[in-house]
Chain A
Amino acid sequence: MRDWNLQGRNRDARLARAAGLTDGKRVATADARALLEAVLEPGDRVCLEGNNQKQADFLARTLASVDPARVTGLHMVQSVLALPEHLDVFERGIASKLDFSFSGPQGARLARMVADGRISIGAIHTYLELFGRYFVDLTPRVSLVAAQAADAAGNLYTGPNTEDTPVIVEATAFKRGIVIAQVNELVDAVPRVDIPGGWVDFVIQSPTPHYIEPLFTRDPAQISEIQVLMAMMAIKGIYAEYGIQRLNHGIGFDTAAIELLLPTYAESLGLKGKICRHWALNPHPALIPAIEAGFVESVHSFGSELGMEAYIRARPDVFFTGADGNMRSNRAMCQAAGHYACDLFIGSTLQIDLAGNSSTATLGRIAGFGGAPNMGADARGRRHASPAWLKAGREAREGGGQMPRGQKLVVQMVETFREHMQPAFVDRLDAWELAESAGMELPPVMIYGDDVTHILTEEGIANLLLCRTEEEREQAIRGVAGYTPVGRGRDRRMVENLRDRGIIRRPEDLGIDKRMATRDLLAARSVKDLVRASGGLYDPPRRFRNW
């Protein structure tokens, strides 16, 4: 007779080994390592929570300190490699295999360790793919997560940075895995239940509150006039043109400039209520003036942002908040919303090739993808129609006699040269060489050219939807690539023809006077202006204060 409950019996055995360490669900801070050594088994698939914002940093340190003679060969599955400990576990032989999504800060060390054969990478995913696989074939046996508070029953309160916790815990708890949470405080009653106690096995108070990175804060003082000009083009040439109501912005100064031009430039064009009403977006401080001006009706967030807590609490009509008043973010839900419910994604990149493929990969670093490929891709499964989606689909198919369907607008917004005169337009992406040197099966492309609908530079907007041949597409890209070698390699006659047909549009074609592109147009010109716009509710982290 086959035993159909091996996982449940294995779970019981793990819990039995930990029995001596617990008081109910609570485990003393000093016993954290003993707990991990008791419940982990060699070869376990372990999910360590950590994104580019919230980190289960105490449990990461603890895992890196276990005895490799007892715990070895782990298969780590995690959103982001951010902390040194995330790689220390491989260096110490505690873990050997890795599936992940993004490795920004550890990208260079990761590349070295892969080259040395110390880490075997299963795959580099987008967030939604990795979360999806938690429920298919990468289900964690043990998950190590972070929360703000827990009560005696193990109910977790995450506060505004709920982020990845629900998806990790659900995948683990309902497949007979073990869930261990580090919490900032143990309380009698949690302000709200983000994770039900029945899904949590152990709770440990961390010696210091979990780390949160203020990743989405951009100081308006650093926004340049060129970025103001490009933001004007985005608003007039794309947002107004397509009537963009639902959208997601990437991270960076280019898109922060758009946010700060809504109450000034967009308002002057009569666009309030016509564009930018619904957002899938972290609570960017740069969005405060647009919210205060009445542009923004709703914002759902992947995570929170340090310093925005009190402002969010005071604007419950805009943000998703709980009965306790604080935001509830959710990365999986917001990624799904960004992929399926938004009509436009706009973001920056490091390199764009002649087919419009874009990549942030640089040699010697394995950086991964995060959420950008899902935000910056046409959702082929989408069926609901909106005017913006239909217009983009019409432009792409006009005269082709094909089945009508819509298309998501995916805009890459770049200055033609980055810092130190590095051209943003290249004949061949560095991603090719990186793929060869790191033995990847594919070049790590962030957004594929066939998903990109517009490329926006200081020279103009190239509408790739309207290009009918590969040659037109290449010349449209060259035609906005400025004085980069790619831009100077343009066929001038063909570019002028594309301009006559409205495929390339210069600022003057859009009726934009470049002389208006000054920092005076920004609704806030400093972090202090943002604080003022929030009525004193925004409390920026110290590093953003210069007063």
Chain B
Amino acid sequence: MEILTFEYRGGQPVASPPPSVLVGVVGSGNLEVLVEPAPLGGLCRIEVQTAAVGFGATWQAVLDDVFARHPLADIRISINDVGATPAVVGLRLDQALDAFAGGAQA
């Protein structure tokens, strides 16, 4: 088990965010993503709890691209990962952030 934290600046807050969005499942090769509004002074904070140790650089690369697609501010994203591949991580985050930002197309 490894815990990784990533922070991004320069995003825009969502005007009227939902209380929270939860997608995915905690199962082998999958992950659970919880997105919540949070007063972080313009920050997007992503906390990853992952079963696969030693993939920090891969997470960084995946999440950099996710933030580039969804530049949001004042949100906290909590990820509970059970060995999902980057493809699944990207897909789940796209789903969660689309839903959070009101179904806007990525």
Binding site for B on A (CB under 8 A): 224-226, 229, 415-417, 419-421, 457-459, 482-483, 488, 508, 513-515, 517
Across the two chains, which residue of chain B brings its CB closest to A458?
Answer: B87
Across the two chains, which residue of chain B brings its CB closest to A517?
Answer: B91
Across the two chains, which residue of chain A brings its CB closest to B88?
Answer: A226
Across the two chains, which residue of chain B brings its CB closest to A416?
Answer: B87
- Assess the B61–A483 pair: CB atoms within 8 A: yes
Contacts known (A417-B85, A421-B85, A483-B61); A225 close to B91, Cβ less than 8 A: yes
- Assess the B87–A482 pair: CB atoms within 8 A: yes
Across the two chains, which residue of chain B brings its CB closest to A482?
Answer: B86
User: What residues on B are CB-neighbors of A229 within 8 Å?
Assistant: 91
- Please pick, from B52, B83, B85, B106, the residue contacting A514 in the complex, using a CB distance under 8 A: B106
Across the two chains, which residue of chain A brings its CB closest to B90?
Answer: A458
Contacts known (A417-B86, A513-B105, A515-B98); A483 close to B91, Cβ less than 8 A: no
State whether the Cβ of B58 lies closer than 8 Å to any Cβ in chain A.
Answer: yes
Residues from 61 to 88 in B contacting A, C-beta threshold 8 Å: 61-62, 83, 85-88
Cα A420 to Cα B94 in complex, Å, equals 23
Contacts known (A488-B61, A513-B105); A226 close to B91, Cβ less than 8 A: yes
- Assess the B94–A515 pair: CB atoms within 8 A: yes
Mask, B27-53, CB within 8 Å of A = 1, is 001000000000000000000000010
User: What residues on A are CB-neighbors of B90 within 8 Å?
Assistant: 458
- Assess the A514–B94 pair: CB atoms within 8 A: yes
The contact sample of 27 A-B pairs, CB cut-off 8 A, is: A224-B88, A226-B85, A226-B87, A226-B91, A415-B85, A415-B87, A416-B85, A417-B85, A417-B86, A417-B87, A419-B29, A420-B83, A421-B55, A421-B83, A421-B85, A457-B87, A458-B87, A458-B91, A459-B87, A483-B58, A483-B86, A508-B106, A513-B105, A514-B95, A514-B106, A515-B98, A517-B91
Binding site for A on B (CB under 8 A): 29, 52, 55, 58, 61-62, 83, 85-88, 90-91, 94-95, 98, 105-106
Cα A457 to Cα B87 in complex, Å, equals 9
Cα A415 to Cα B98 in complex, Å, equals 23
Cα A419 to Cα B52 in complex, Å, equals 12
User: What residues on A are CB-neighbors of B91 within 8 Å?
Assistant: 225-226, 229, 458, 514, 517
Cα A517 to Cα B91 in complex, Å, equals 9
User: What residues on A are CB-neighbors of B55 within 8 Å?
Assistant: 421
User: What residues on B are CB-neighbors of A515 within 8 Å?
Assistant: 94-95, 98
User: What residues on A are CB-neighbors of B94 within 8 Å?
Assistant: 514-515
Across the two chains, which residue of chain A brings its CB closest to B57?
Answer: A488
Cα A320 to Cα B106 in complex, Å, equals 47
User: What residues on B are CB-neighbors of A517 within 8 Å?
Assistant: 91
Cα A442 to Cα B83 in complex, Å, equals 36
Cα A458 to Cα B98 in complex, Å, equals 19
Cα A515 to Cα B91 in complex, Å, equals 8
Cα A69 to Cα B61 in complex, Å, equals 65
User: What residues on A are CB-neighbors of B61 within 8 Å?
Assistant: 483, 488
Most chain B C-beta atoms within 10 Å of own C-beta, residue among A459, A482, A488: A482
- Assess the A421–B105 pair: CB atoms within 8 A: no
- Assess the B86–A416 pair: CB atoms within 8 A: yes
Cα A180 to Cα B44 in complex, Å, equals 73
User: What residues on A are CB-neighbors of B88 within 8 Å?
Assistant: 224-226
Cα A272 to Cα B95 in complex, Å, equals 30
User: What residues on B are CB-neighbors of A482 within 8 Å?
Assistant: 86-87
Cα A517 to Cα B88 in complex, Å, equals 12
User: What residues on A are CB-neighbors of B62 within 8 Å?
Assistant: 483
List 14 additional A-B contacts (Cβ < 8 Å) besides A415-B87, A514-B95.
Answer: A224-B29, A225-B88, A226-B91, A229-B91, A420-B83, A421-B52, A457-B87, A459-B87, A483-B58, A483-B62, A483-B86, A514-B91, A515-B94, A515-B98
User: What residues on A are CB-neighbors of B58 within 8 Å?
Assistant: 483
User: What residues on B are CB-neighbors of A419 within 8 Å?
Assistant: 29
Cα A217 to Cα B95 in complex, Å, equals 31
Cα A457 to Cα B52 in complex, Å, equals 22
**Nearest-CB distance from A462 to chain B (Å)?**
16
Cα A94 to Cα B55 in complex, Å, equals 51
Cα A225 to Cα B27 in complex, Å, equals 14
Cα A420 to Cα B105 in complex, Å, equals 31
**Nearest-CB distance from A414 to chain B (Å)?**
11
Across the two chains, which residue of chain B brings its CB closest to A415?
Answer: B87
**Nearest-CB distance from A230 to chain B (Å)?**
9
Cα A482 to Cα B61 in complex, Å, equals 10
Cα A112 to Cα B88 in complex, Å, equals 38
Across the two chains, which residue of chain B brings its CB closest to A225?
Answer: B91
**Nearest-CB distance from B22 to chain A (Å)?**
16
User: What residues on B are CB-neighbors of A457 within 8 Å?
Assistant: 87
User: What residues on A are CB-neighbors of B86 within 8 Å?
Assistant: 416-417, 482-483
Cα A419 to Cα B28 in complex, Å, equals 10
User: What residues on A are CB-neighbors of B85 within 8 Å?
Assistant: 226, 415-417, 421
Cα A483 to Cα B56 in complex, Å, equals 12
User: What residues on A are CB-neighbors of B106 within 8 Å?
Assistant: 508, 514
**Smallest CB-CB A-B distances: 6 pairs:** A458-B87, A483-B86, A417-B85, A226-B87, A483-B61, A483-B58
User: What residues on A are CB-neighbors of B83 within 8 Å?
Assistant: 420-421
Cα A421 to Cα B83 in complex, Å, equals 8
Cα A482 to Cα B85 in complex, Å, equals 10
User: What residues on B are CB-neighbors of A514 within 8 Å?
Assistant: 91, 94-95, 106
User: What residues on B are CB-neighbors of A483 within 8 Å?
Assistant: 58, 61-62, 86
**Nearest-CB distance from B23 to chain A (Å)?**
11
Across the two chains, which residue of chain A brings its CB closest to B58?
Answer: A483
**Nearest-CB distance from A510 to chain B (Å)?**
14
Cα A488 to Cα B86 in complex, Å, equals 12
**Nearest-CB distance from B98 to chain A (Å)?**
6
**Nearest-CB distance from B94 to chain A (Å)?**
6
User: What residues on A are CB-neighbors of B52 within 8 Å?
Assistant: 421
Cα A457 to Cα B86 in complex, Å, equals 12
